[in-house]
Amino acid sequence: MNKWRLKTVGMCGTAILVLSLLNACAPPKGADQASSSKSSGSKEEIKIGFVSQLSGGGALYGKQMENGAKLAVDEINKKGGILGKKIKLIIQDDQANPSESVKVTQRLVTEDRINAWIGTLKSSDTLTDIGITSKQDIPSFVPVAVANSITESDYTNVYRNVANNSMQAKMFVDYILKKQPHKKLAIIAENTDYGRGLSEDFKSFFEKGGGEIVNVEYYNVGQKEFNDQLTKIKGEKPDGIVISGLVAEGALVLKQAQDLGMKTQWYSFGGFSGAAPIKLAGKAADGMIHTEYFTPIKGDKKIETFVNAYKTKFGDKPDAYYSAATYDAVNLYAEGVKKAKTLDNKKVNDALHSISNYQGVMGSISFQEDGQATTKVWMAQIKDGAQTVIFRPE
């Protein structure tokens, strides 16, 4: 009796402990995470639903997206809104969890009756979410997720104002073949759809352009040890190595390669760019060339205005594209509504498709039939611990 009771108590206790911990680690963020607009209660509001990861591992990037969106909404509302209506931003945390993402998007559509949707940090979550918004033709903006498939699914209400993976890979290959002496490259790629997708695109474009890929090595997200991959690559003696992955692992690849005495030209994509490689890999990152969607450079009025406004409002400098792209997405929607002169989804979608050469902070944007913007990527290089733009498209 006693023993059995103890067992039950123990089990319940454990269950409660585990559940409470699970709960503690993922606090549900409600819709009350207010918009910055103060226009309370007005029926005449334009509601934009925003979904991204705001807690857990990728929260840092989700927060930058949120800030970009808030800044744009504030600026528009200060100027009196669009068509005389203020914008209300409804922010939802999807914890980078597909089922959570679908749940909050569903709620935005059916309960909040949003006029436009913006999200998310991850391509896979974005793909399922736009499946929901497309049923009601809600204009949906994808400023950050870059998997090709998002704009290859025949949705007529989805817009991406950033280059997708294969555009990025193509432009990177063209740049390397034209401007750099390296014809024999190796790839070290994250073993995910992101890393594999990019590395396959890069490989096929690079080989078509006359270059040679000597080998492709994979690693898992969260991996810490890269000596095996690097030892194999070292044996092939490539002219340069392309990292097709994200910051945490990319930084370790650079550091461990340095420890293995490898001196080579490093290349990487947008997932491993910005200030983080410099901070995490230090000297080992010097000389690396990477693609970039946005760099807070001086001398461009549009960018300077954005960077200063962002700094004033949030205190830090936007050093990657997450905030800039989301800022542009809100403004693109406003542009569409202005052109359509109504909030009717179909008319706004028509207007958005007709946008051409809109000047955002990330450059000139025109949407193609499939919703993909014809944007270009920049090339940047890390020199003496600082990021410098070495190629900027017209």
Q: Which residues of the shown chain bind another protein in the complex (CB under 8 A)? A: 1-4, 6-7, 10-11, 13-15, 17-18, 21-22, 24-25, 56-60, 191, 217-220, 222-225, 227-229, 231-232, 234-235, 247-248, 251-252, 255-256, 258-261, 276, 279-280, 282-284
The rounded distance, in Å, linking the Cα atoms of 70 and 34 is 10
Q: Which of 174, 228 has the CB closer to another protein?
A: 228
Least separation, in Å, of the C-beta of 200 and another protein?
A: 13
Least separation, in Å, of the C-beta of 236 and another protein?
A: 10
The rounded distance, in Å, linking the Cα atoms of 168 and 270 is 9
Q: Which of 141, 219 has the CB closer to another protein?
A: 219
Q: Which of 57, 287 has the CB closer to another protein?
A: 57
Q: Which of 113, 279 has the CB closer to another protein?
A: 279
Diameter of the chain by CA atoms? Answer: 80
Classify residue 3 as exposed, middle or buried by CB count within 10 Å of its CB (0-12, 13-18, 19+).
exposed
Residues 232/207/281/311 CA torsion (nearest 10 deg): -160
Least separation, in Å, of the C-beta of 228 and another protein?
A: 3
Least separation, in Å, of the C-beta of 109 and another protein?
A: 30
What's the DSSP call for residue 341? T
Single out the residue of 110, 129, 107, 128 nearest to residue 118, CA to CA.
129
Query: What is each CA distance from 353 to 47, 82, 151, 367, in whole angstroms?
Result: 21, 19, 13, 6
Classify residue 369 as exposed, middle or buried by CB count within 10 Å of its CB (0-12, 13-18, 19+).
exposed
Q: Which of 152, 259 has the CB closer to another protein?
A: 259
Least separation, in Å, of the C-beta of 339 and another protein?
A: 40
Least separation, in Å, of the C-beta of 2 and another protein?
A: 7
Single out the residue of 139, 102, 94 nearest to residue 121, CA to CA.
94
Q: Which of 13, 385 has the CB closer to another protein?
A: 13
